Amino acid sequence: MEAKAIIDAVLDFDQEKTAQLIRDHLDQGADALAILDQALIAAMDEVGRQFSAGDFFVPEMLMAAEAMHAGLEVLGPHLARSDIKAKGTIVIGTVMGDNHDIGKNLVAMMLECAGYRVIDLGVNVSKGKFLAAAKKYQAHIVALSALLTTTLAEMEAVVADVRAKDGGSLKTLVGGAPVTASFAAGIGADGYSPDAAGAVSMARSLISA
Ligand code: B1M
């Protein structure tokens, strides 16, 4: 797979080219997960590096995110699909104060593909809204994403709220770039994954536990 061309298209903020190159690679038999990891996520890592270096600013990050969205629309249906259905309900969202949704959307997509009912609350979600939705949909897991170090405290608050107000059957699953296994353990989260595929395995073990 020629990842560089796709990475360049994202870095040129070219939505159409990103989508077309992915279509071409899929037609030629490339693996959808390889395209995701080696091209799209790699491109966003490069965007992050350029932002840190002061070469990109927020508008550039946003335009790159739109190119990534265009690519994900093509890729989504090709990501691994499981035939075993409705294994549980998962409420997911990005915590309050945080508007990053690409990783969260990816996790939601993979969970859905794996056969879970996913209730996506979007971004900037308050802890009250997480708990209310978990009750309303009789969820098994509340899944939280955070991309900013400043919103890690909010993630901790949601996990604490679930622990305090739920009898113990509702599990919490956390992830996002600044989240580490030790942070997750420290705030008392039931599960953590560094990536979307791992979130599916973690959900599986939390629900069957
Ligand atoms: Co923002 N941003 N951003 N940004 N942005 C980061 C996160 C940053 C690391 C860039 C940098 O400095 N190098 C930095 C955070 C620094 C920090 O706190 N550690 C940053 C900053 C500072 C900001 C602003 C504050 C900038 C400003 O305004 N001055 C601002 C904050 C706005 C807000 O949220 N309140 C901001 C804004 C934005 C945009 C809106 C422009 C845009 C987001 C668009 C969108 O999401 N719709 C944006 C983007 C695009 C990025 C980068 C470049 C890319 C993020 C991304 O989509 N990655 C990012 C740099 C980077 O991450 N390399 C950056 C691809 C995505 C697939 O990965 O989300 O990590 P990720 O998800 C992964 C894993 O983390 C994991 O699985 C996913 C797939 O493998 N995962 C989970 C995620 N959630 C999970 C949940 C799980 C399990 C796994 O279980 C439930």
Residue predicted with more confidence, 45 or 26: 26
Are 82 and 119 spatial neighbours (Cβ–Cβ below 8 Å)?
no
Q: Does 33 contact ligand 1 (Cβ within 6 A)?
A: no
In the chain, domain spans: 3-81, 89-208
Q: Is the pLDDT of residue 78 over 90?
A: no
**Residue owning the nearest CA to atom 12 of ligand 1:** 52
Q: Does 53 contact ligand 1 (Cβ within 6 A)?
A: no
Superfamily (CATH) of domain 3-81: Methionine synthase domain (1.10.1240.10)
Q: Does 93 contact ligand 1 (Cβ within 6 A)?
A: no
pLDDT band (50, 70, 90) for residue 158? very high
Superfamily (CATH) of domain 89-208: Cobalamin-binding domain (3.40.50.280)
pLDDT band (50, 70, 90) for residue 116? confident
* Ligand 1 geometric centre to CA of 144 (Å): 14
For the stretch 124-147, pLDDT in tens is 999 999 999 999 999 999 999 999
199 Cα nearest atom in ligand 1: 88
The predicted model gives 141-161 an average pLDDT of 98
Residue predicted with more confidence, 185 or 48: 185
Q: Is the pLDDT of residue 27 over 80?
A: yes
For the stretch 193-203, pLDDT in tens is 998 878 988 99
* Ligand 1 geometric centre to CA of 160 (Å): 24
148 Cα nearest atom in ligand 1: 18
